[in-house]
Structure 1
């Protein structure tokens, strides 16, 4: 399975970079997770705004 090989390479690369940078893997993961949550929050708000604006113009 090619996906597992790619994931394994990514994990090995991430482990090598965490050792070099001094940040733990968990901290990097939590930082990425926070960024993703923020992006999804903004996207959700934009979609809600567009839906409400569209409904308002229909009436």
Structure 2
């Protein structure tokens, strides 16, 4: 019976790894999108700038 609990614990541990990776990846993508948006907005402002 101890082997069954051990394999169940290993299954839970391996299933948590992709979730943490996905969370990290989504946070990175969100940050990059925010930076890209800021660069895009600054570019538009500079192009549309009139003296």
Do Structure 1 and Structure 2 share a fold, with TM-score over 0.5? yes
What number of residue pairs does the alignment pair up?
A: 38
Q: Which runs of structure 1 show a deviation greater than 2 angstroms over 4 or more consecutive aligned residues?
A: none
5+ residue gaps, structure 2:
1-9
TM-score under structure 1 normalisation? Answer: 0.59
TM-score under structure 2 normalisation? Answer: 0.68
Aligned CA-pair RMSD:
1.3
Comparing both chains, which one has the higher relative contact order based on Cα–Cα distances under 8 Å and sequence gaps of 6 or more?
A: 1
Return the index of the structure with the highest Cα Rg: 2
5+ residue gaps, structure 1:
1-18
